[in-house]
Amino acid sequence: MLLPEAPSELETLKARLAVAEEREQAMRLVLRALITSLRPFGFSRQRFLRCVREEGRDAPTDGPASVRHTVFEQEARRVLREAR
């Protein structure tokens, strides 16, 4: 087992973990928006975008949770590109 060398290294690891957890949460929210947007005969782009925008409005703009905005943008673009 590796032990951190200094308190600053421990703080860095905690910060990286917090960002990773927020990225995971953002991915779950994008996945939920995608599932919500599925219809019996296809995919509703408007509903998906509305869900992602609502989540973006609710996401904090500072701290580790601010990474959610980046994830929402990247993953929403990926979903919309693949849905063509």
pLDDT tens digits for 23-79?
A: 999 999 999 999 999 999 999 999 999 999 999 999 999 999 999 999 999 999 999
CB within 8 A of 62, min separation 6: which ones? none
Assess contact for 45 and 76: CB atoms under 8 A.
no
Per-residue pLDDT at 6:
66
Q: Model pTM?
A: 0.85
How far is the C-alpha of 55 from the C-alpha of 74, rounded, in Å? 14
